[in-house]
Amino acid sequence: MTKDQLLLELIAGLELRSIVPMKLESERFSDPPAVNSELQLASNVQFSDNDPEVQTGDNWVFRPRMICEVSLAGAIHFRQTTYFVLLFGLKNMERVQELWTDLQLRKDFQEKQVTKTLWPLFRQHVIDGMSRVGLPFVTLPWLV
């Protein structure tokens, strides 16, 4: 099987049961930028080394943290950090656990599935966070 087929098999073996943003941090570090300022965006997703955390029975929990920094002239202007908890059910526990031993497949699942699933929620958190601290918001780009 190809890597893409294995990823599809892994995804088919999991059922997304819930997404909960557990903590949202919006930090402003400077005055609002001048209109038409060239802002730089940087974002990343960090996964806990212990994920998935195995819950009772057939449940896996992932705890990613998403961070976006908006900078102006090299200085951080705003940072949004969101801590998520995702609960997945395992439809075929043995096969999913077998697939999970492939480190590249894990990485692909985290980057291609989990990150893209959370991105629309996180984009909204950035907009809301900037508005809450009195800054004009920026819209994060699409993930492809």
Average pLDDT over residues 52-73: 90
CB of 79 closer than 8 Å to CB of 69? yes
The CA angle 103-100-50, to the nearest 5 degrees, is 80
Domains of the chain: 3-132 (3.10.420)
Average pLDDT over residues 50-79: 91
With a pLDDT cut of 90, the percent of the chain lying above it is 78
Chain segment 90-132, per-residue pLDDT in tens? 998 899 999 999 999 999 999 999 999 999 999 999 999 999 9
Predicted confidence at residue 71, as pLDDT, reads 95
List, as one string, the DSSP characters of 76-94. EEEEEEEEEEEEEEESSHH
Predicted confidence at residue 124, as pLDDT, reads 97
Residue 144 pLDDT > 80:
no
Residue 74 pLDDT > 80:
yes
CB of 76 closer than 8 Å to CB of 67? no
Residue 20: pLDDT band (50, 70, 90) is very high
What's this model's pTM, rounded to 2 decimal places?
A: 0.91
Predicted confidence at residue 116, as pLDDT, reads 95
Residue 55 pLDDT > 80:
no
Residue 68: pLDDT band (50, 70, 90) is very high
Helix, coil or strand: residue 50 = coil
Predicted confidence at residue 8, as pLDDT, reads 96
